[in-house]
Homo-oligomer: A and B are copies of this chain.
Amino acid sequence: MHSMNRQWKLKRYPDGMPTPDDWEMVESAIPRPGREEILVKALYLDISPYMRGKINPTRAYYGSGVEPGDTMIGGAIGEVMESNSDRIRAGQLVVSDFNFGWQDYSVFDPDSVRIVNPDLAPVETWLDALGVNGVTAYLGLFEAASMQPGDTVVVSAAAGSVGQITGQLARIAGGCPVAVTSSAEKLEWCREIGFDRGVDYQNTDNLAEALKIACPGGIDVYFDNTAGAILDAVLQNLAVGARITLCGTTSLASKFGQPDIGDRYWRQIITARARLQGFLVLDYPQHRYNEAQQRLGQWVREGRIQHRFDVVDGFDKAPEALIRVLSSKNLGKQLVAL
């Protein structure tokens, strides 16, 4: 156990794809919990693509951003080291979905964290299916895209944190999930967890044509975690009445601050009478989170949702872990183990 609190602070806004030099590690005193507060020590940091949008100077992005000098934002699972609250005791495990920060220690009001039951599912699960990624997959698929049984459901970044859960939810809901991912190894994992078929876009000359073959009846639902070339290929293969959840833009990670220029398919959206929904999980009320987490928990317990985690060891590797995610190198949910 360190006697200091290591923190990754943003040094400067990245230019396009981040580099490790965009942050710097500093040490400060371990914070002290106040009245009714708890001190939590991180076990795993959650590394997610949304973080790229938080370290961007354009203030138009949702929620507050991280400015140079701030501790980097992020969720974590950790152990309660000290508790000044009757509601929680030292030794319990808790999750903060967004507000732990890239640091060893953080102080919380117990109401702002979720208590983990490690008997219910492995602790990492609380950062994936039982965390924000699971709720994103659930509401993005069933609410934003109104997925129906029988739908052909294409998922991009299908072996990533949200993607792997989305495919399994589509299967549970009677759909036909189709993976788009970036390696044969990822595709193999997608097949293992129930995707009907898939396309490895890194080894495909013509993605639109490959999707046409994979989805001969057209694409009913597209869960978009990437934007870019995959979205373009999908828009050329929409079934009438298609629904698209625009959830992430990982492929644009190196394009922040530059316009994204390319082919546009507005006419195809009209002819398919498609619906596109910009999706942000934070917009949904607590009762929808409860609904999603209860059902996801049941499916995890029944073994109907499986996970892979891509764990990078060591606090010093946090920037590399984020770059890994933004470069599509991760297979499964990206974590940093402390």
Query: Which residues on A are within 8 Å of B, measured CB to CB?
Result: 53, 60-62, 227, 231, 246-249, 252, 259-280, 283
What's the least CB distance linking A156 to chain B, in Å?
12
Subset of 12 A-B contacts with CB under 8 Å = A227-B264, A227-B266, A247-B270, A249-B266, A252-B266, A252-B267, A259-B264, A269-B276, A273-B279, A274-B277, A275-B277, A275-B278
Report whether B231 and A271 are in contact in the complex, using a CB–CB cutoff of 8 Å.
no
Report whether A275 and B273 are in contact in the complex, using a CB–CB cutoff of 8 Å.
no
Residues of B contacting A259 with CB < 8 Å? Answer: 263-264
The CB with the most chain B CB atoms within 10 A, among A266, A269, A273, is that of A266
Chain B residue nearest in CB terms to A244: B276
Report whether B263 and A260 are in contact in the complex, using a CB–CB cutoff of 8 Å.
yes
Count of chain copies: 2
Contact A246/B262 with A60-B271, A279-B273 known, Cβ cut-off 8 Å: no
Among B249, B252, B271, B280, contact of A278 (Cβ-Cβ < 8 Å): B271
Report whether B278 and A272 are in contact in the complex, using a CB–CB cutoff of 8 Å.
yes
Chain B residue nearest in CB terms to A231: B266
What's the least CB distance linking A209 to chain B, in Å?
15
Q: Identify 4 new A-B residue pairs, CB closer than 8 A, beyond the known A247-B270, A271-B280.
A: A261-B263, A269-B278, A270-B278, A273-B279
Chain B residue nearest in CB terms to A274: B278
Residues of B contacting A283 with CB < 8 Å? Answer: 273
Report whether A276 and B273 are in contact in the complex, using a CB–CB cutoff of 8 Å.
no
What's the least CB distance linking A78 to chain B, in Å?
29
Chain B residue nearest in CB terms to A236: B60
Residues of B contacting A61 with CB < 8 Å? Answer: 271
What's the least CB distance linking A132 to chain B, in Å?
15
The CB with the most chain B CB atoms within 10 A, among A248, A249, A270, A279, is that of A270
CB-based closest 4 A-B pairs:
A276-B276, A270-B278, A269-B278, A227-B266
The CB with the most chain B CB atoms within 10 A, among A249, A262, A268, A273, is that of A273
A269 to B278, CA, bound (A): 5
Report whether A279 and B270 are in contact in the complex, using a CB–CB cutoff of 8 Å.
yes
A227 to B231, CA, bound (A): 18
What's the least CB distance linking A302 to chain B, in Å?
32
Report whether A264 and B261 are in contact in the complex, using a CB–CB cutoff of 8 Å.
yes
Residues of B contacting A274 with CB < 8 Å? Answer: 277-278
Residues of B contacting A270 with CB < 8 Å? Answer: 246-249, 278-280
